[in-house]
Amino acid sequence: MESSPRELTQNPLRKIWIPCKNGLPEKHISQRRVCMTNCPTLIVTVGLPARGKTYISKKLTRYLNWIGVPTKEFNVGQYRRDCLKIYKSFEFFRPDNEEGLKIRRQCALAALNDVRQYLTVEGGQVAVFDATNTTRERRGTIIKFAEQNGFKVFFVESVCEDPDVIAENIVQVKLGSPDYIDCNTDEAIEDFMKRIKCYETSYQPLDEVLDRDLSYIKIMDVGRRYLVNRVVDHIQSRIVYYLMNIHITPRSIYLCRHGESDLNIKGRIGGDSGLSARGKEFAKCLRKFIQDQKIKELKVWTSQMKRTIQTAEALAAPYEQWKALNEIDAGVCEEMMYEEIQEHYPMEFALRDQDKYRYRYPKGESYEDLVQRLEPVIMELERQENILVICHQAVMRCLLAYFLDKSADELPYLKCPLHTVLKLIPVAYGCKVESICLDVESVNTQRDRPENVNVQRTTEDALQTVPAHL
């Protein structure tokens, strides 16, 4: 006998339809996290030391977490440091050092055990196994481990023969490593070059013929050329697309909001109003600031909303409008004050405070939706060099969370004040941030999470953190 279709109810927080029984959501379904992988994926780096494997691992982990795929990096070098405590010299990595080989093997196995725990028990979807993995034997061990645990494997090999790039990587990253904390620069460089030599003799790169059945991307000379083989699912496709868009050219990314708007002054959210008198003053100051920076070949992006375009117009420079950069859609709450939302939609107001990242405005968007909308912007930002993005509070929070590796819980509360420029400078394993206030007064639009987020709270509790306005 065929079972009849289940009844549906709408989740009040995310506004998505879910099966229910006797009017109540089926919890095991309503609480299930959206999964972008049909089975856990193990990303495995391959390559000699100082080829940017950890740079790729950290960046990829940050990107996947930002788009909502729970990902964790496992750096085998850190396991070795935790095990050994004190690093003496390159001799440890010699291929004839039996004790060194034994310790390195143990560290790799310990990392794989943690990978298994993360992907099978802790709810992870992707693990990045960051090590040299230069021999076919080691890669075979990893493949066998993955098969036993039901994980897919995707290899990322970085091949670089450019001595200048290698030297730059050693100076930028390796000299700051705990391995060389008490070494002078010349000694450290000499030791590290010898360490690379230890790996070169046994290095077996991924081979188009011998490894034709494996899924992998081979990145040559930091993105001058790529070889992609057997991409078998959606997540591998996303990884390949991302890795083909990143670069290491030094640059600066400037993020700022539009000048203060007429609706900002009134404490109203969203809308498409123009700039206030102070907002126009900020736009003039932004022009002077950008001119003083003397930025080479600066590109300017705005949203398609009046207040960002007015701000960009004052720069007297070409700019590109992106619909994807438009402010979060507040749906039925557009152009309302927080006090009005509390009066007309008290439950919605409380639900948003309970989970601001996933909460979706009725007929509007959530921060989670906004991140998906902004992914093409991030891809293009990764391809660009010097750029100024004039955007909105929620949009700027999402972009900032990507560059600063902030969690979904932190993202909606990141401070992005009006009339302040954030200068981001990508560095080896992250981003340096400089905050420049242009000294033009504006209202405060930051509303922090109140202590009481209960649906039955008082109006006073609900409005506890609403900033002052007209």
Q: Is 431 a catalytic residue?
A: no
Apex 250 CA angle, 129 and 62, nearest 5: 30
* Candidates 73, 211, 256, 258; catalytic one: 258
Helix, strand, or coil (residue 266): coil
- How far are the Cα atoms of 176, 240, 325 from residue 375, in angstroms, in the given order? 32, 15, 10
Q: Is 419 a catalytic residue?
A: no
10 Å CB burial of residue 29 (0-12, 13-18, 19+) is exposed
Q: Percent helix, strand and coil across the chain, each rounded to 5?
A: 40, 15, 40
Listed in sequence order, the residues at least 6 apart from 182 whose beta carbon sits closer than 8 Å to its beta carbon are none
Q: Is 327 a catalytic residue?
A: yes
Q: Is 2 a catalytic residue?
A: no
- Which is nearest to 73 in space by CA: 91, 56, 89? 56
**Cα–Cα dist 308/314, whole Å:** 10
- Listed in sequence order, the DSSP H helices in 71-162 are 76-84, 98-120, 136-149
Q: Which residues pair with 381 in a beta bridge?
A: none
Helix, strand, or coil (residue 223): coil
Per the CB < 8 A criterion, the answer to whether 119 and 149 are in contact is: yes
Kind and range of the H or E run holding 432? strand 430-437
Task: Look at phi and psi of residue 68 and say left if phi exceeds 0, alpha if psi is from -120 to 50, else beta.
Answer: left
* Candidates 211, 260, 327, 329; catalytic one: 327
* Half-sphere exposure of residue 273: CA atoms within 13 angstroms, side-chain side: 21
Amino acid at 465: T
- Tokens 């909303």 belong to 305
Per the CB < 8 A criterion, the answer to whether 433 and 404 are in contact is: yes
- How far are the Cα atoms of 75, 129, 227, 336 from residue 53, in angstroms, in the given order? 10, 10, 16, 48
* Candidates 130, 179, 191, 353; catalytic one: 130
**Cα–Cα dist 89/94, whole Å:** 10
Helix, strand, or coil (residue 404): helix
Per the CB < 8 A criterion, the answer to whether 340 and 365 are in contact is: no
3-class secondary structure per residue, 326-354: CCCCCHHHCCCEHHHHHHHCHHHHHHHHH
* Candidates 73, 107, 157, 160; catalytic one: 160
Which residues are the active-site residues? 130, 160, 258, 327
